[in-house]
Structure 1
Amino acid sequence: MISIRQLRYFVGIVEARGYTRAAERLYVAQSALSRQIKELEADLDVVLLRREAKQFELTDAGQDFYERSRKILLDLDRAVSQARTIGRGEHGALRLLHSSSVPLSAPLGPTLNAVLAAFPGISLEISQAPSEYQAREIEEGSADIGLARLPILRANPNLESTLLYRERLVAAVPASHRLAQRAEVEIAELRDEFFVTVPHRDRGGLSYLVAERCIAHGFYPRVARATSRKNSLLSLVNAGFGIAVVPQSMASISLSAGVSFPAVKDADFHSEVALLRRRDAPAMVSQFVEAFIEGLRAAGLPAPDGD
């Protein structure tokens, strides 16, 4: 019979990249650790780890078993945490992730606050995370809700994505820039500019979308000598390192007087924000999400076309 202890030991060895470090992290004798893994392999009738001296290599079966075991343990830890929370008289704690390019300004932040008032037994743990990371965390069960900037590159069949709204994009340029006094600019006018944010090869989101649009207009964004993710890119723009293309909501909360935000003129140049959750999300999550979406609509956020 396979035990939770064996799963924890196996995952611990893989993540520690060895028996010695795993034994130290798990506070167990290395001999006991090795014995448990041998018993696990015997129960499964398959080799999970190939051991040579002090090194090991995952077999194909071992790699698959590791990924599934890790998810099982995450779900178990989550269930234990929720049970303890409910046992203390609370209804539950939800983890919400949002992209740094999705600020919790109006109407998102105020609506979340209003929904929390209607669900007094629920608390929120809010963190920032890239869109692709959100999808992985929610799929694995270590987060409940995501507010992501599309596109998300990796297919996630276990996730449900609800398009919340489309948002106009603006150029962020230093106040002394040649385009700073313009109300609108064409994408093509940004051809020779240096961009302080560029797409990551494994991530979608806003930077990926901007690069796609620039390519459609015949150029790829030139990389500035100093780059940043969304949190601090406006400070780089203010310092004159280059420009960025950001959602209008980021412009509305900017505290920098040294940055101007002319709109990007092209009619099809907009960004989409989606809410992510698991298709098999617990009732508590689903009820909270539905109330949140309903609250956004009531606050005047229109449903996207076709939603």
Structure 2
Amino acid sequence: MISIKQLKYFVEIVAAGSYTRASERLYIAQSALSRQIKELENDIDVVLLRRDAKQVELTLAGRDFYDRARKILDDMDQAIVQARHIDKGERGAIRLLHSSSVPLSPPLGPCLNAVLQAFPGVTLEISQASSEHQALDVEEGRADLGLARTPILRKHPHLETITLYQEKLVVAVSLQHPLAQREVIDIAELRDELFVSMPHRERGGLSYLVAERCIAHGFFPRPARATSRKASLLSLVNANFGIAVVPDSMRAIAVAGVHFIDIREPDFQSAVVLMMRRDAPVMVGQFVQAFVQGLQMPAA
């Protein structure tokens, strides 16, 4: 079987131009060096070098093998360097999930972008998933980080949850809706409205929280005939199927036909949390630390 050592010896002989100079550079006996190359040629059943007392010459097959051997060794060197960078938290890919109710609009998107500038060796692989699915994927190692909204109903022993900030909730209505002229509203006024987002009994997140808050104020949201748990709920609002209670940050991704109304009650707020494994790699931990610190810095 071909070894990395044989490839290194072969490349060094060609670079040095002779066995004598190569053996001096490698600090090994010339006879041992010659034996390694002979074994290499026997293993692949190809003559790579023609040799005499003073110099070596590559065969046609040897020239091609030399180019490929150098590339293999260069790739291996790069792999070793990258592994060391990753071990130190300097390089690699981070798999990030976020809920549809946690858009990467300010403050999250700009902060992530700023942190990436400080970690030039790190890339983000971003996908969307519900809060509960995020928690499970991070717990089981299919993702590194999750950006979700509480509550998250299931508890996971290896999961660490960091609260990033609280965000006010607002009412989204179509411009054709009778409430479209309002700027502020009492939640009780929504008692008879149709909601395009409804909670699932086994999933937490925004719709679960909204239902909890409505119950605390004396009513349960009435479902519209068309509902959605995804970002498309704003499209349903725009089409006037019903209303939705959403985070204020969703204004940034809303279509032009949606109007937002502030809710008077102060308890209509939602926490954005970041999830990661307690034993996350060094790189992930350092990225999270910079990200959390960035969010805590006052806006310029």
- The structural deviation recorded for 1:257 is 2.3
Match of 1:151 in 2: 151
Structure 2, unaligned runs of 5 or more: 1-78
Match of 2:267 in 1: 268
What amino acid maps onto 2:242 in structure 1? G
Match of 1:200 in 2: 200
- The RMSD of aligned alpha carbons is 2.0
- The structural deviation recorded for 1:299 is 4.6
**Residues 84, 96 of structure 1: CA spacing in aligned structure 2 closer, same or farther, 3 A cutoff?**
farther
- The structural deviation recorded for 1:176 is 2.1
Match of 2:216 in 1: 216
State percent identity of aligned pairs.
Answer: 67
Separation in structure 2 between the aligned mates of residue 214 and residue 259 of structure 1, nearest angstrom = 22
- The structural deviation recorded for 1:113 is 1.1
Separation in structure 1 between the aligned mates of residue 212 and residue 81 of structure 2, nearest angstrom = 44
Separation in structure 1 between the aligned mates of residue 284 and residue 176 of structure 2, nearest angstrom = 47
Match of 1:24 in 2: none
The 3-state SS of whatever aligns with 2:178 is: coil
Q: Which moves more between the two structures, 105-114 or 268-277?
A: 105-114
Separation in structure 2 between the aligned mates of residue 300 and residue 164 of structure 1, nearest angstrom = 15
What amino acid maps onto 2:142 in structure 1? S
What amino acid maps onto 1:100 in structure 2? S
Separation in structure 2 between the aligned mates of residue 139 and residue 296 of structure 1, nearest angstrom = 24
Separation in structure 2 between the aligned mates of residue 85 and residue 244 of structure 1, nearest angstrom = 50
**Residues 208, 298 of structure 1: CA spacing in aligned structure 2 closer, same or farther, 3 A cutoff?**
same
Match of 1:233 in 2: 233
What amino acid maps onto 1:252 in structure 2? A
1:182 is the counterpart of 2:182: yes
Match of 2:129 in 1: 129
Match of 1:167 in 2: 167
The 3-state SS of whatever aligns with 2:208 is: helix
1:257 is the counterpart of 2:249: no
Larger Rg: 2
Match of 1:293 in 2: 292
Match of 1:25 in 2: none
Match of 2:72 in 1: none
Separation in structure 2 between the aligned mates of residue 157 and residue 88 of structure 1, nearest angstrom = 29
The 3-state SS of whatever aligns with 1:179 is: helix
Separation in structure 2 between the aligned mates of residue 155 and residue 89 of structure 1, nearest angstrom = 33
What amino acid maps onto 2:128 in structure 1? Q
Match of 1:114 in 2: 114
What amino acid maps onto 2:96 in structure 1? L
Separation in structure 2 between the aligned mates of residue 166 and residue 190 of structure 1, nearest angstrom = 23
1:246 is the counterpart of 2:252: no
- Residues 153-211 of structure 1: per-residue CA shift (max 9 Å, x gap): 01122111111110111001111222111111111111111110101121100000000
Separation in structure 1 between the aligned mates of residue 155 and residue 84 of structure 2, nearest angstrom = 38
Would you say the 8 A contact 1:173–1:243 is kept in 2? yes
Separation in structure 1 between the aligned mates of residue 80 and residue 238 of structure 2, nearest angstrom = 47
Would you say the 8 A contact 1:85–1:92 is kept in 2? no
- The structural deviation recorded for 1:282 is 1.1
Question: TM-score, normalising length from structure 2?
Answer: 0.69
Question: TM-score, normalising length from structure 1?
Answer: 0.68
Match of 1:95 in 2: 95
What amino acid maps onto 1:279 in structure 2? R
Which stretches of structure 1, 4 residues or longer, exceed 4 Å deviation after superposition? 87-90
Separation in structure 1 between the aligned mates of residue 149 and residue 128 of structure 2, nearest angstrom = 12
- Residues 42-67 of structure 1: per-residue CA shift (max 9 Å, x gap): xxxxxxxxxxxxxxxxxxxxxxxxxx
Separation in structure 1 between the aligned mates of residue 107 and residue 140 of structure 2, nearest angstrom = 29
Match of 2:281 in 1: 282
Match of 2:62 in 1: none
- Residues 63-119 of structure 1: per-residue CA shift (max 9 Å, x gap): xxxxxxxxxxxxxxxxxxxx8994598721110001111111122111111111111
Separation in structure 2 between the aligned mates of residue 177 and residue 197 of structure 1, nearest angstrom = 17
Match of 1:14 in 2: none
The 3-state SS of whatever aligns with 2:265 is: coil
